Chains A and B, each alone.
Chain A
Amino acid sequence: MSDDVKTGSELDPPELEAADTRVGEPDSTTHAAGGAGAAATAVSGGEVVGQASLWSDAWVELRRSKLFLVSTFFILVLMVMAVFPGLFTGADPRSCSLGNSLLEPSAEHWFGTDIQGCDYYARTIYGARVSMLVGIFVSAAVVAVAILLGSLSGYYGGLVDSLITRVTDIWFAIPTILGAIIILSVFDQKGILQVSLVLILLGWPTLMRLMRSSVLSVKEMDYVQAARALGAGDRRIMRRHILPNAVAPVIVYGTITVGIAIVSEASLSFLGVGLQLPEISWGLMINEAQGRVRNDAFLLFFPAAFLSVAVFSFILLGDALRDALDPKSR
């Protein structure tokens, strides 16, 4: 083994409670003693108390969790907003008339208008599309890469592990915003695809390390040894025993990553190195608003509020998932 399982350098804010499960003895809190597919029946004097498995237990817990319900509600609303913005507003965010520049919120323009005279409400609604797209795309890709590389690295160890870890360390050493600024300066076009790619490139190391350390813990568990003793091959062990159990913290953090990706995109757009006009992004809108905060504060508040709610929901969801998947917090 080249590295110890957990090193302090694996933390990268805002990496929330997913990190907590890794610190300390390798008895990761999200691993059920019986494996994902394992069910335990309890017979007490003839009365069957019920079947239990990590994921089905988690689902029961989730359904009851207020955090989960609230966050899922917001996320669904935002997703609908992204796909069908027309449901929320009839106005066209791009039909602007300079004569209407910088109007205060009113009955006709709920959020007022921006400096070009575009309906601000419409722009805010349409802004959801970019954020959700980037957020979910980046997170999904990062999770996929992380699961693949992390399990290979954690399970096979040796040379494969050393190689993958070294590459990960290199990319991890590149600070996110800084790296993004530089990489994006290379591209001529800065569309959703480019920004997403950059975020994926800079974001996968954190999740990959998480997956790897998770796999390392699970690998040592008794049920894996038992499966191996029973003659199960590598692929089967990976698929049925290691993956379902190791993946829990990654799923939790993957949800939070959506929030992080949304913030990163907005930050980059704010700085002017991400999406450019005429794309509609909350980050861009806040950039424009910043200079005018004295007189037209509403320009700042609306996109800021939507942005915050979006990120908030995903982080909340991640928290809810983590609580549900943690057998110790029952």
Chain B
Amino acid sequence: MGRYLIRRLLQVIPVFIGATLILYFLVFAIPGDPIRALAGDRPIPEGTLNVLRDRYNLNDPFLVQYAKYVGGVFTGNFGESFRGREVSDIIAQRFPVTLRLGLLAFVIEAIFGLIAGVLAGLRKGSFIDNLVLVTTIAVVSIPLFVVGALAQYVVGVRLDLLPIAGIADGWQSYVMPAFVLASLSLAYIARLTRTSLSENLRADYVRTATAKGMPRSRVVGRHALRNSLIPVVTFLGVDLGNLLQGAIITEGIFNLPGIGGEVFRAVRGQEGPVVVGIVTIMVVVFIVANLVVDLLYAVLDPRIRYE
């Protein structure tokens, strides 16, 4: 198990470098001089512009730029935005919003998804099963931004139940966005749980457990569920990364000041350092989430440890 862990960690390094390199390349090496763009129409002498460029390492060859940047990241220095703010400040300010949104969504999707999935899986072919099937497909088909827009309209405008924008109303502001963000994954978790459970209920070891005289509740609740939840738990792990992405859209729709909205704004405004800073964080979260999931999988399924 220890060897497996180390191997996976080593594999992470080239992946991190590769992914961030590609993204960094796209942001900085592509033509477009952000300094000049910053200057706009104002007649600023070239010398001053060059000093600015130097400050942002833009005169260095690309790989040097990249190396300096990554080096900086490891000491917590994400550089400065072109308008002079510390990128790490920007991130520190906005990340908590996204974090709250993400965690709430995670809890929602885990609880509701599991419950729906278990109920459907236990009574396959029944009314509740079909209900879950149909609703989950419907939800999965509707794009996140549509769900968001619709929710905003129906729940916020028409029914006036929950706030539809900003974080002014405290935790209430997070409720609708969290549900919207969770919706897709919730549906998926429900389906995954359902399928996994119903498959496991037909497995040989379930038959053995019944033949051992175990009560049905134990057969399902202990034997079958433990096996069924493996794919679900691993999915939940991966979903952390996906929630972060979904936050980009959700924050946009509901006007939440998180890093999702920020990265979007920054791309538009050609704020290279900000984009790269946030992107690096997202890639790291993604990679870490995947890593955790792999390890979790090995913990949950003893058969995998022998690799």
Instruction: Spell out A's residues near B (CB within 8 Å).
Output: 4, 7-9, 11-17, 19-20, 23-25, 166-167, 169-171, 173-179, 181-183, 185-186, 259, 263, 266-267, 270-273, 283, 286, 289-290, 293-294, 297, 300, 304, 307-309, 311-312, 315-316, 319
Contact = CB atoms under 8 A, between A and B. Distances in A.
Given A166-B14, A290-B253, A8 B263 contact: no
Contact of A174 (B22, B267, B275): B22
B23 A271 contact: no
B252 A182 contact: no
Contacts of B131: none
Given A267-B145, A290-B253, 4 more contacts: A12-B238, A16-B191, A270-B143, A273-B267
B304 A175 contact: no
A8 to B, nearest CB: 3
B249 A177 contact: yes
B231 A186 contact: no
Contact of B297 (A8, A185, A316): A8
Mostly, the B contact residues are: helix
B150 A304 contact: yes
A256 to B, nearest CB: 9
A213 to B, nearest CB: 13
A272 B155 CA distance: 25
Nearest to B279: A178
A248 to B, nearest CB: 17
A304 B149 contact: yes
A11 B234 contact: yes
A128 to B, nearest CB: 15
A181 B245 CA distance: 11
Contact of B153 (A23, A293, A309): A293
A259 B18 contact: no
Contact of A267 (B137, B196, B249): B249
Interface stretch (B47-55, B80-88, B212-220, B281-289): B281-289
Contact of A8 (B18, B237, B245): B237
What 10 pairs between A and B have smallest CB-CB spacing?
A8-B234, A170-B18, A9-B290, A8-B293, A312-B141, A311-B141, A173-B19, A23-B231, A8-B297, A263-B143
Q: By CB atoms of chain A within 10 A, which of B19, B138, B291 has the most?
A: B19
Nearest to B140: A14
A191 B271 CA distance: 24
Contact of A315 (B137, B157, B242, B244): B137
B293 A185 contact: no
A7 B152 CA distance: 37
A25 B200 CA distance: 12
A319 B136 CA distance: 12
25 contacts: A8-B234, A8-B237, A8-B238, A13-B185, A23-B230, A24-B231, A169-B11, A170-B15, A171-B22, A173-B283, A174-B23, A174-B283, A177-B245, A177-B249, A178-B245, A178-B279, A181-B264, A185-B268, A266-B145, A270-B145, A271-B264, A300-B149, A311-B143, A312-B138, A315-B137
Nearest to A7: B294
